Amino acid sequence: MTNFLAAGGLKRGEHESASLHADIVSQLRDFIVEGHLAPGSRIPERELCEKFGISRTPLREALKAIAAEGLIELLPNRGARVRQFSEADIRNLFEVLSGLDFVAGQMACARITDDAIAAIEKMHLEMYAHYLRRELVDYFRINQKIHQAIVDAAANPVLSANFASFNSIVRRLRYSANLVNRDRLGDAMREHEQIMDALKRRSANELGLLMFQHMQGKCEAVCEYLRDQQTEDSEPRALLEDAIF
């Protein structure tokens, strides 16, 4: 099931933070999301214990927690392995994300401050500039910030936590898909124009639907990208490693 109120903890350096468990979970999650462990590969308990400087007990507890999040799967008597997401899985994830984006849009309209709208509009214009100059990394970075700002404006920690959880899985894919499918970028930019418009008018139903459809569009782009990858390349993961974040 879902961890729906976990406070996304920052990584600690050397100094102790709140709890060892939370730290290990956070570190391990990042370690997997960042792609250090190939999807489908088994998780080497021993190595990770040495890497994190802990014994097996806390590591295994962290594994169970992350399995509950869905990032890894537990095979009976065969340990844990990194979840491998099929295209169907990705579609499913995106659909749920679309629903969360819908609520975010709905609720943001009712709760967002004028200042926050102004801040988002500023980011929007900045993103547009990057779009025109085809600066994809910056474009993508601000794009993510805008979506995050709208989700935050909904002022719902449960929503934010779940959005972050799902988004962390597909973020990398979204970036890669952007790199390949340039047509989609124009559509996305137009959709963002509409989103800004609806947000400024605080039209809840409209913004919700726009954000839903926008995310669905992203899904199609990513799935197209995945299909291309699989047909032309037997090692579909290779390119993903290039993507920053």
Partner DNA sequence: AAAGGACTTATTGAATACAAAATTGAGTAC
Partner DNA sequence: GTACTCAATTTTGTATTCAATAAGTCCTTT
Gap between the Cα atoms of 224 and 218, Å rounded = 10
Contact of residue 107 among DNA, a copy of itself, none (CB under 5-8 Å per partner type): a copy of itself
The binder of DNA chosen from 17, 19, 84, 230 (CB under 7 A): 19
Cα separation values, 109 from 106, 157, 199, 207, Å = 6, 16, 6, 8
In angstroms, what is the minimal distance from the CB of 11 to a copy of itself?
A: 16
106 near a copy of itself (CB under 8 A): yes
Print the binding letters for residues 201-230 with a copy of itself: x by CB under 8 A, - otherwise: ----x--xx--x------------------
234 near DNA (CB under 7 A): no
Gap between the Cα atoms of 171 and 5, Å rounded = 20
* Cα separation of the two ends of the chain: 25
In angstroms, what is the minimal distance from the CB of 152 to a copy of itself?
A: 13
Gap between the Cα atoms of 121 and 113, Å rounded = 12
167 near a copy of itself (CB under 8 A): no
CA atoms 69, 70, 71, 76: torsion sign: positive
Nearer to DNA, 23 or 206 (CB): 23
**# of chain residues touching a copy of itself (CB under 8 A):** 56
CB neighbour burial string for 35-48, b if at least 16 within 10 angstroms, e if fewer: eebeeeeebeeeeb
Residues numbered 56-115 forming contacts with DNA, rule: CB under 7 A:
56-58, 60-61, 74-80
Both structure tokens of 21: 């468990």
* Parallel, antiparallel or unpaired: strands 79-82 and 72-75: antiparallel
Nearer to a copy of itself, 24 or 243 (CB): 24
Gap between the Cα atoms of 135 and 128, Å rounded = 10
DSSP 8-state secondary structure symbol assigned to residue 234:
S
Applying CB under 8 A, the span of 121-129, 133-141, 156-164, 194-202 interacting with a copy of itself comes to 156-164
Contact of residue 2 among DNA, a copy of itself, none (CB under 5-8 Å per partner type): a copy of itself
15 near DNA (CB under 7 A): no
21 near DNA (CB under 7 A): yes
Gap between the Cα atoms of 18 and 238, Å rounded = 36
Both structure tokens of 5: 């109120």
Q: Give the residues lining the site for a copy of itself (CB under 8 A).
A: 1-6, 18-19, 21-22, 25, 57, 60-62, 64-71, 73-74, 76-77, 83, 89, 91-93, 95-96, 98-100, 102-104, 106-107, 154, 156-159, 161-162, 164-166, 205, 208-209, 212
Q: Give the residues lining the site for DNA (CB under 7 A).
A: 19-21, 42-46, 54-58, 60-61, 74-80
